[in-house]
A and B are shown apart, each in its own frame.
Chain A
């Protein structure tokens, strides 16, 4: 049973296109996240939702728009893709506030050509 699942695993697209990455968790967690791992291997938080409410938005370009239809899903839509958006995007979830680690999905490798 996959706890945090992301689709697709690989995404290759051209500059200027719009694409979405989907994430679902079956852990019953209240909080979900998007992290980006760039070419230098930094894992940086982009967004966090708690019970469908946006609680963290780390100065990400507004071409990136997260959407949480319910607390088990957090999707990431990216408009007008740029070369610099190429990275691995990880979805994660946690029970909520307090001392709780994050549970990560296996990532989506986005390549913009």
Chain B
């Protein structure tokens, strides 16, 4: 039972263009959403978050959009840089009760120079 899906296992984008990574979830109780970036042989690194009371959060080149009615979030990277090449995970969670984050399967982004 996959509560979190990242349907694109991989994505290639030219340097300087926009990268859009998508994530769908099924549990309407999720109220906090994280994005992580992971390089090979390293642990996931926190990138950006959004709470369910917002529909957009921006941090430099990274913007996360949340569409609660569609249970969909996306990460936009503009402009994309070769150093952004990594695997990106979305991780929705609940902040009430015994909270935990459920990770998607990841999207491998390759930014071409």
Among candidates A41, A48, A106, residue contacting B43 with C-beta atoms closer than 8 Å: A106
Smallest CB–CB gap between A109 and chain B, Å?
Answer: 8
Kindly list chain A residues whose C-beta atoms are within 8 Å of the C-beta of B89. Answer: 43
Q: By the criterion of a CB under 8 Å from any partner CB, how many residues of chain A are at the interface?
A: 24
A44 to chain B, nearest CB (A): 7
A61 and B34 CA atoms in complex are apart in Å by 28
The answer to whether A42 and B99 touch (CB under 8 A), given A90-B44, A99-B51, A105-B43, is: no
Determine the chain B residues whose CB is within 8 A of the CB of A45 once the complex forms.
100-102
B85 contacts chain A at the CB level, 8 A cutoff: no
Contact (Cβ within 8 A) B43 A90: yes
Partner of B46, one of A44, A101, A105: A101
SS class of chain A's interface: helix, strand, loop or mixed? strand
B interface residues with partner A (beta carbon < 8 Å): 32, 34, 36, 41-46, 49, 51, 87, 89, 91, 95, 98-103, 105-106
Q: A35-B103, A97-B95 are in contact. List 19 more A-B contacts (CB 8 A).
A: A33-B100, A41-B105, A41-B106, A42-B103, A43-B44, A43-B89, A44-B103, A48-B100, A56-B98, A90-B43, A90-B44, A97-B99, A99-B32, A99-B51, A102-B46, A103-B46, A104-B44, A105-B43, A107-B42
